A and B are shown apart, each in its own frame.
Chain A
Amino acid sequence: MGQYIDIQHAFSISGFLHMKYLGGALSLWRPRRRYYFAIDEIAEELIYHKSEVDFTVHRIPIGSFPISTAVITLDDNNNCAFILHVSGRSVEFEADNEKSCRCWLDAFSNRYSEAEKQKFSQTMLRKTKKSSSLPDHESSTEQPVPPRKFSFQVRPTKRDLFASPSKHPEISENYLLDEEMDDWVTQWLRNEKFHNFSTLTDPTTPTSTNMSKKSLCSDSADTEELDLLREITNNQKKRIEEMKHEMHSLTMHLDQMRRRCDSTSGTDRDTLSSQNKFLNSEILRMSAKCEIYELQTSKFKKENKKLEEDLHQLRCDYVYAVQSTIRIPLHDNTAMDVMSMKLLGGETHKSRLVQLVAEARVEDPSLPTLQSLIQGIYVDSFGFRICLRDESIALHYMATKLHQFYTNKSTSSIEHKKNWKTFLEENAFIELSKETKTMCRRGIPNSLRSTVWKILINQQVEDLKVVYGRYYFRNLCNTQGGEDEKLYSDVHQKQINLDLLRTMPNNVHFMTANSKGVTQLLQVLHAFCLHNPQIGYCQGMNFLAATALLFVGPEDAFWFLIAVTERYFDKTYFDSNLTGAQADQEVLKELLEVQHPKIMKHLTALDIDVASITLNWFIALFFDAVPFNTLLRIWDCFLLEGPKVLFRFAIVLIGKHEEEIISRNDAIMRVSKAASRLAFDEQAIVDMAFNILNLPTRLELKNLQLLYVSVLAERLEKKTRRANAFVNMLANTFSNEKLISNIFIDEFSPDHGFVVSGHHLMGKIAKIKVVQNRGTMADIDIEFDCRVMSICMVKPDMAYVSLISGYMICAHIGSNDEWSVLWEIKLPDVATCLIHRENTLFAGLANGILTVFENSGDKWPTSVQMWHLPLSSAPLMNCVIHDDLLIVATACKLITLDAASLTTLSTTHVASSSTGSGVFYFDKITCMCESSFGIFLTTDHSTLIQLWQDTTCNLLYDISFDHKTRKPSLSETESSVHVESLLFNDSLLWIGTSDGYVFIYDVEPTDNDRENEVKYRLKKFSTDKRGSRSSASKSCRLESLPEDLVENDVPVVGKEKRASRVSICIDRETQQYSAILKNAEEEQEGTGSSSRFNSHSSKTIRSPIRKGFSADSAVSVFSSEPYTETKIDLIEKSDEVFAFNKKEINKFPEARLVSSTDSSCTSMEFDDTFELYSDEERSRRQIAITSPKRLATMNLSRQIHLKRRDLTFDEPYFVPVPESTDKELASDIDADTVVPSVRLTLSMKIKISDSSVRKIISSGPSHILTCSGEFDADEAVLLWRKDEENNLWINDPVLHISSFSSGSSPIDSQPSTGRSK
């Protein structure tokens, strides 16, 4: 006999019963045996053991009966007995008492409640329509059949022989009317058995034959019966005759005796009478005594009853007291995180509770025992499997159960139940009245709950039922195909299927995929999704439906969901943002402010949103938030009164633990969660809930909620839109729609700026205004047919705008920001940057020419002097004016010019960075900014920040370390992050990256703290390796360009304004370029007449662009020095560029080569010294290209130190470099180190966008503007200001006021901050 422990068993009821097999010939002699029985809810069996001990230790049961197919009937003679019919056998069970028997029957009938429900709806339907097409369940045998009917079934064997007499009309009538009669007849017949036989076999009886003959014609069966009866009657007659004789003789005998007695009576009469007297007095005395005793007994009885009542009350109060000892644990207790219980007094309470339960189990065996709870085999009346490993919690559960048991026995609750019953008998509907409210608030008795809920649900949706028809649910359940069905399978099916088994997994009705509850749940949810595809399935509905299914059938559960979504709440409640539910939280917050201002104040101070606790309560109607019995009480009220009760209960649940919440500063969430979990005291909670004063009326609440819904809906929709846009962006459907490309500040009024946005077909400008820390932007009514490259204000009312089409536009700005184009001019190439100084406008063109406009402030171009100054063959990407110096960035060079004389003062080749792939890029400077320390800059695709002062590199700082502070891994992957924008402002360096981060560094002069510093080494290639290219910069040129022309018109950069007046146009369609050469007179003539430079008088040279070379490289023909090399040189040189590292070339894809030439002809600039910056410790390298003539002045013996103590990660950051490459390079280079003059300390890092931070610019003394992403997106343009209190930079979105809704006031948006380390 092994141990019988298996979690596949759970028992709803267990206790002793007498068992006896019925049927068969020996049924009367069978013994009655007492066993310990239990109903296994999972295996659906009734099992029995010899003793309780055997059961609790899980021995294998002696036997079992399958009860899924069993039929239960009652024994009419014995109220403590019932009969189980299963697989052709009948077993009689007898309980110890009537109550216990009823519990057993309840336990059985619980299993059939579904069938009953079916039947209920059946009868309901029948009332309305006779011709119901529903299947008939009348014949269902699962019903406990009426006893008489049953006894008819059970005893047929006994009557086999006497079938005919029992069917006599007279007798059977009696039989039906009077059961005793039936028994008597049966009994009697049994006694008469043999007589009958004898008479039956007597053929000579004349009457029988006569009679039978008479009735033969009518009915043969009747005739037989009649015959039989007649025989019986005859027999009786005979007997009566005999008895008459006997009686006669007896009467004679009696007479004789009487006579004899009379003769002897006279002598003893006196003595007898005295004796009689005495006896009479004795009787009187005794009766008086008896009376006294009786009085005493009744008095004692009364007292006894009172004591019994007291005892009951005490028991009730005792378990209630035990139940109330549950507390929120003081400290974290991982095992039971929300409740703890401590019963002082050692084992006293435990043994007392166990004893009480044992006593109560005599009457109600469905109560749990301590073992069953701890072992987790107990199933409560709702089907929940209770498993409480913690003994004190199990004891608490027992106390709760006992309390319910005692309360149900109390007279008041019996009265209450009776009231409900009579109410239900009298009313078909439950109207919302004072009476019904009180009744619901007192709770619906468990036994009546399904009936009442059904009525409540149905009356909510009565009108809908009329609209949709009676068979709506059935129709939906059986719908196949159709659009709604498709939507369902597309959208909701997956989630529902996921959740089916995750709904009440601890309930026996929802345990397995085959459970009845699960199938019904699926049916209900599926039907609901089809009913309301807009709402569809929302997590939480599964719990609503499942709870309803515990009490009502699937159809009513379905209507319940409809009632919740369409009657109690509205459709917004479960919409895609749960707007309605969220709005209710706002309403609740308002109510709580009134009811519990202290709590709200405390929570607000801690920045805790009440909604994070309470939202679940509203969405799932307190499911899983409060104990199940409390939940039922809440639902009782909710179903009748609607959502207002939810507010009431929410307020109570939060308010109940006010002290605990206020006294704590941490773990508030835990306390508030526990507060609801501990709500076992359902009656007290209900009472408290309905005693809250000063609540708004239902209508007021509704209106308030609607108000919040409208506000929330707007915001949430906006958020959803944004999220969708965000997702779309992620899905690589990245659109160039109005991508913001740049911001420019009006240097005459720094509070104003311009945001330019657009794409290659459209350009727009919006004006930013910063007023009192708030930024707004408004569209300017001007639109270009291509992207805007740059804007520069030359006068407060005059701006130059350069377009990617190569045009430069001069615009006049009116007082109301009205722009009018004054004139436009086509430049040789796109002006990538415009900068203004003292009435002179410098335009850096993409072909390396610096175009200078003098007198740019003049309104009309007649007076504008324009000069072309070729500086480089690569595009001029950026220019900065620093004092009197104009610093222009082109490719990887910084060219410093005297702003007044335009004399080239110095040319600095800056370091280039390597990316992780080991491929070296000689990339252009993408962004730079001037500072008091020098020029900060970065090159393309780089995360390396460089600081250059004159020709000295003072700092190399790789921000990728900071960018990846959380990086846990050692291996390097190719990262697309690079610096996109830079700003130095007030000793802070702002860096914007391509993935939307903004870094703010504190810049301070270094204090030469060299310990633990990361060293960068500047490595230098030996010059003889590059002998072929030692003849300074080279460029390709077009062979068709006449040499004399070049000589004449494209002079070498001189000290004077020896700029050529040349413009170059590229016809991208014909792949031809045209160089337009002019003299000064022509130029002025041109500007005067047509404002464009493509006048006919100029000489135009056209040449087809060779394959393999982009227009850009063709444009770069005008380099600073003229050369006569052919184009082939370029290709050769490109090879040479990479020849120093053959390994790289092999890896180099063709496309990369092209792109490298594309990208601003960097290769053509590759004529100078190679410098390799390498960090020895990290095997990381950079390449610097330095002009040879400037090398002398550059102090190479300095080291670059990176101080990054702010970094929190431990692992160093490695860049794997192939060893062979290392060696090769090592042989080529001389090493030197650089010392940084400044130190960067990361003070803030924040992600502001998903797209790159295009520009950071300072607006006024205390404001910074950043831009990223698309123009109309929220937070595309941010205004940053410094919060003086906590020294943080706070950003606010610059709000776009569109011209259409300019009247509306901007929504106050929440300021947000980054946080410094």
Chain B
Amino acid sequence: MSRPLLIRGGRVVDPSQSVDDLRDVLVVDGVVAQIGNGIDPPEGAREIDARGLVVTPGLIDVHVHLREPGGEHRETIATGAKAAAAGGFTAVCAMPNTDPVVDDPAGVGFVIAQGAAAGAARVYPLGAISVGQEGKQLAAIGEMFEAGAVGITDDGNPVMDSGLMRRALDYAQAFGIPVADHPEDLGLSGAGVMNEGVVATRLGLHGKPNASEDVHIVRDLMLADLTGGRIHLQHVSTAYGVEAIRRAKTRGVRVTAEATPHHLLLTEERVEGFDTDAKMNPPLRASVDREAVREGLADGTLDVFASDHAPHHYDEKEQAFADAPNGIVGLETALGLGLTYLVGEGLIDLATLIQRMSVGPAEAFGLPGGTLVPGSAGDVTIINLDEAWTVDRDGFLSKSRNTPFHGWDLKGRACYTIVGGAVVWEADRS
């Protein structure tokens, strides 16, 4: 067993138990043993002096693409898990749209094994909803659950067949796992590569209307209502979508939903100049949508702050806009962006951001952690709110560099990432 770990004198912000106070946290045998003041260190304990720092439950990113197997030139499970740890995340959920698709228990087992070997953030696999993510036949959902999948999704390939989606929501209930959906109607998206509107019109790029997302958000809410299943809506980007989720929650529909840093901070204007690092799916939307996503995150309609970390090799982004792939990396910038622009500018307070990054995601996917209640997993993130730093994509631990936030000045960064009581990442504080 690893050495006990005593984190001394930090400001503990644990929204799961409404704590925001100076406390010591003791982790023994990989679990939180005690939280209080003046805790005596057990023999052989490692001590971290957290005075002046913020101590939170380990942060969780429920939406990352680790690309392995099949896309190891973009990211591997090891590099992704290390990038996650460097970004303050103690756990991530890996999307199954790899090559081959994770749609069977062997694939789930592979991701778990690679994650464990990485020795960084915990890696929880999601399995596919359908075989090969082809939207035709249910994948081996029960077997994948037994192998350790924490949810199912066809992220990347929207489930166009509403009947299949209904069956997935019904079937997954036996295992208590959510169905995560990338809500998008491909017919409405057509050849779109950015948000539909005057920017797209001027640039001569085909647009995706908000309706292509809204139609599937509303459909998924109806199907969750019909089945009693748990739907998790990924990367919500539209005003109508946020409002539809808000109303569904008041009716008691079992829905959780995500907001990404880029949809909270950027708009379609960022595509000016055909910048492929501003190309993602769903696309950056209009400012009214960004405002609605912000309100949704603030009032809890959107439960989870997730990065949709989507690494691409620089060659792949070094193309004309329409030809470049969707997505940006986010693991190493999400916390800093949230602290600087969401907390720093007063949209939400620190406890709310931590809630959306810890207990919110843990509850959405039924994960251990997200709390420092004694007996829970000894996953802890220690944050220096005062550290000013500049995003430098060339310094990322991720294999990829595709970020629209390169060069942004941020304030606040993780300085220790602790998984099961072991320090898996520690900032150079010299």
A binds B: no
Which residues of A are at the interface with B, using a C-beta cutoff of 8 A? none
